[in-house]
Amino acid sequence: MDSERKGGRGANQLRPVDCSRNVLSRAHGSASCSHGETRVLAAVYGPKAGTKKNENPEKACIEITWKPKTGQIGKPEKEFEMILKRTLENICLLTVHPNTTTSIIVQVVHDDGSLLPCAIHAACAALLDAGIPLKYLAVAICCCLTESGNILLDPSKLEEQKMKAFVCLVFPSSIHSVLPEGSISIGGESKGDGIITSLTHGVMRVEDYFQCVEQGRAAITPLSNILKKKLQSQSASNLSKAG
Amino acid sequence: MAVTSGPNDLSSEMEVDAFRRLFPLRFHERHLLESLRPDGRPLGRARDTTLMLGAVASANGSAMAKIGSTTMLAAIKMEVMTPTAEAPDEGCIAIEFHMPPICSPLVRPGRPAEVAPVISKQLSDTILSSGMIDLKELCLVGGKAAWMAYLDIYCLDADGALFDAALLSAVAAFSHLQIPVVSLNDDGRIVIISEDNNGGAMKEKEPVNKEKIKLKLKSVPFSLTCVLHKKYILADPTSEEESIMETFLTVVLDSSFQLVSLNKPGGPGLTNSSAIQDCVTLTRQRVKELQKILNEAISDMEVD
């Protein structure tokens, strides 16, 4: 199986993930995230007073601007904006800052597959950097389904194009890594079971979809641990610099 | 419509309409407790659906779909184009979804609706990835000429489940589509033969396709949107339900119950696998219903 993927990756092996906060000086919060060659830059401005038209003023409003690497903003960008907005609405505590707007600008630096997961991680880290209250982090993963029914995680652009179907899933970061061992309640497990966002492309069997969900979920815990470690180590070094 | 009133509840002291406006979420939750929705439907039932083929006489294929009061008008216009170098033996389909200000108070003139391009993209993803239409069928002369199908869908009344109604109207328009007769003229270009003069002139010039043909549709996709609120699953939400309970999930299955798309774009609620499984089951039933409605509409058309 290993030889099937470029770079000698196993089917369940993710590309190296890197995430750094506070990369822009003027933004209230910013982050840069990379999955292998895919790289996304995110900046957060706000919360600013007032909400847009047709938004609920009793809650905070999130505004996303998706900038592609090249070219004009078209329908795919609008779709990404909508998905990212609704995904971040899930993880933010919207009632803490009612009647405000937080704008997030997402700039694609390079797209080599699994773009949406990378953008979600970058946006999350930028929100964290800006100090926007969050319920949990969103951890996203792309799964690809090959013609023979195998599932590959974190596909590159080339793999995405060759595949029969792919699924993009966003989970809340597993609470297992936050809570100390043994304190996981039954209520918590049902939360860990939840899916924030699901997107699919291509025809597949229903069972294959659930297989993807299982495989994706299994990969979430290590991925969220890596992301948290990256973000924590930076906040520690920032504090020591300030002190 | 009346809510069964309990003690210590404002609903017993207030008119139903006032309660509905002031506490929309509680108003709906009170209904959900009774496994009923404000419009009298059980939770898992979709609204009445009607389909009319051939709604636009000037188009090559058209249909009007109504799910409850959500109304979509879809029309296809065929044009001859030169195929791209990458796919010389394939035609092309361009799908556009429009939300004019007539459809909803949320859409203002001059400012296009935010959801319109998103639904447009989802529709073309669904229709092209489902494999319903073999693009090779749209080829006329390999490398020289192929059909370009412009599918435009207009939302006339936006009362929830827009994607479902749009997909239904699009599928129906494709099943009504008749590819016009074309022939090669002296310059070697493809011309569409109008119906008035297909007398002697046509016989000399060899028509490329002899008569109006219909596309062979395989594995037609149908969709169902469900609102997920707490433990309840509400099939085919109205716009009021969509705005109050914001987590929704759209499942698209084809006629052989393969999953074409499962789209849950965020929203405040988390969804577990069993809820998704329930939505898929509801969609299966709905696919059978919609298939029947489509077949009836087609046979009605043939009788006419």
Residue B5 covered by a domain: no
pLDDT at A243: 40
- Residue-number span of the structural domain to which B110 is assigned: 39-179+214-303
Q: Looking at the predicted structure, is the pLDDT value of residue A13 above 90?
A: no
- Closest residue to A200, CB basis, from B219, B254, B259: B259
Which residues of chain A neighbour B276 with C-beta distances below 8 Å? 195, 198, 210, 213
Q: Above 80 in pLDDT, residue B292?
A: yes
How many domains would you assign to chain A?
A: 1
Least confident of A18-22, B76-80, B129-133, B178-182: B178-182
B25 within a domain of the structure (yes/no): no
For A80, nearest residue in chain B (alpha carbons): B118
pLDDT band of residue B266 (cuts 50, 70, 90) is: confident
Query: Which chain B residue lies closest to A199 (C-alpha atoms)?
Result: B263
Whether the per-residue pLDDT at A192 is higher than 60: the answer is no
CA distance B51 to chain A (A): 26
Give the number of domains in chain B. 1
Residues A114 and A125: beta-carbon distance below 8 Å: no
Please state, in angstroms and rounded to a whole number, the distance separating the CA atoms of residues B88 and A212: 35
A17-21 and A165-172 strand pairing: unpaired
A178-182, B37-41, B118-122, B222-226: which has the minimum mean pLDDT?
A: A178-182
Quote the pLDDT of residue A1.
45
A125, part of any domain:
yes
Whether B297 maps to a domain, the answer reads yes
Is the residue at B157 inside a domain?
yes
In terms of Cβ atoms closer than 10 Å to its own Cβ (0-12, 13-18, 19+), residue A228 is middle
Model pLDDT, residue A142: 93
Q: Which tens digits make up the pLDDT trace of A74-115?
A: 899 999 999 999 999 999 999 999 999 999 999 999 999 899
The pLDDT value recorded for residue B181 is 82
Note whether residue A96 is domain-resident.
yes
Asked if residue A146 is part of any domain, the answer here is yes
- Please indicate, yes or no, if residue A3 is contained in any of the structural domains: no
* Structural domain includes residue B50: yes
Q: The CATH number of the domain where A137 resides is what?
A: 3.30.230.70
Q: Is residue A182 part of a domain?
A: no
- Nearest residue on chain B to A74, alpha-carbon basis: B117
Give dist(CA B299, CA B55) in Å, integer.
15
Chain B residue with minimum CA distance to A135: B268
Assign B118 a pLDDT band (cuts: 50, 70, 90).
very high
**pLDDT in the model for residue A12:** 85
Domain that holds residue A32: 9-177+190-234
Q: Do A79 and B259 touch (CB under 8 A)?
A: no
What is the model's pLDDT at position A186?
Answer: 42
Instruction: Give pLDDT tens digits for B29-82.
Output: 989 999 899 999 999 999 999 999 999 999 999 999 999 999 999 999 999 888
Q: How confident is the model at residue B205 (pLDDT cuts 50, 70, 90)?
A: low
CA B236 – CA B227 distance, rounded (Å): 8
Condensed to tens digits (0 to 9), the pLDDT of residues A133-154 reads: 998 889 999 999 988 888 899 9
Does the beta-carbon distance from A201 to B129 stay under 8 Å? Answer: yes
Note whether residue A184 is domain-resident. no
Q: Do A200 and B266 touch (CB under 8 A)?
A: no
Work out the average pLDDT over A204-228. 90
Is residue A43 domain-resident?
A: yes
Q: Decide if A116 is inside a domain.
A: yes
Between CA B45 and CA B51 the distance in angstroms is 18
Residue B93 is which amino acid?
A: I
**pLDDT class for A176, splitting at 50, 70, 90?**
low
How much of chain B, in percent, has pLDDT values that exceed 90?
50
Q: Name the residue with higher pLDDT: A238 or B34.
A: B34
Interface test with A, best of B98, B270, B287 (most A CBs within 10 A): B270
Question: Could you tell me if residue B79 is inside a domain?
Answer: yes
Residues of B in contact with A56 (CB under 8 A): none
